[in-house]
Amino acid sequence: MRIGLAQLRLENMDKNVRKALDLLRKSKADVVVFPELFNTGYNLENISKSDPKFLIEASKETKAVIIAGIPEKGYNTALVIHRGKILGRHRKTKLFPLLNEHKIFKAGKVVKPIETPFGLFGIMICYELRFPEIARKLVNKGAKILFVIAQFPSERIEHWKVLLRARAIENQVFVVGVNCVNDHCGGYSMVVDPLGNVLKELGDCEAYDEVDINIKYVDEVRKKYPFLNSP
């Protein structure tokens, strides 16, 4: 499975959408991942105009599963889209208190993996990365890869790096973290394997890259190190 990391510099809504559509046309990945609220940012005017139709239409022209964070129906949402259909959505359950996010969005209530042509995907959004119980719930329900989309700040980017690796190590899964870059967000999107090795790490500038992984490696690691089966 080839995963595309779309570490976008968030600008105005039109530019964000154009960049995403152009990237999808060029991508060779099986799964393309965009950051949290990638089309609007936290701009309240943009949030009110957000509509997933552009992604649904774009997905008809690519083989890729698209994972993208957008505002939807009052929630901070990660959509999983393939071939013109929404396969599922994760609505952010932990709203970030330092941004008063609860004044902008409602909190989601459901944590469960989403079925895709490549297996069960566990999705987390930014602040949820700090809650290991969310990752473990997704893994206990069958996810062997976790996708974390974010607007993670530059001043705490070392937390981001450590937490992504920690979630991979403690759950013996692949973890894909895709952050944005702007005046406040620090980038460093990465792919981590089930032993905590960083397979790909982007820097602090806008970038796109693709990484090949073998999901069967999760089973190999768990067989060799059966830590999840400990009583």
pLDDT in tens, 29-49: 999 999 999 999 999 888 988
Q: Assess whether pLDDT exceeds 90 at residue 231.
A: no
Q: What is the pLDDT of residue 45?
A: 87
Tell me the mean pLDDT in the region 136-156: 98
Cite the beta strand spans of 170-206 per DSSP E: 174-178, 190-192, 198-201
pLDDT tens-digit series, residues 54-110: 999 999 999 999 999 999 999 999 999 999 999 999 999 999 999 999 999 999 999
Over 90: is that where the pLDDT of 171 sits?
yes
Average pLDDT, the chain: 96
Look at residue 116 and tell me whether its pLDDT is greater than 80.
Answer: yes
Confidence class for position 230, pLDDT limits 50, 70, 90: confident
76 closest CA partner among 126, 8, 111: 126
Is pLDDT above 90 for 130?
yes
Work out the average pLDDT over 124-153: 98
Of 17, 7, 3, 23, which Cα lies nearest the Cα of 189? 7
Catalogue all structural domains in the chain, each as residue range(s) with its CATH number.
2-229 (3.60.110.10)
Amino acid at 106: K
- Show Cβ contacts of residue 162 under 8 Å, excluding neighbours closer than 6 positions: none
Which residues are identified as catalytic?
36, 92, 126
Would you say residue 176 has pLDDT above 90?
yes
pLDDT-derived band at 125, boundaries 50, 70, 90: very high
CB-based burial, 48-63: b 16+ in 10 Å, e otherwise? eebebeebbebbeebe
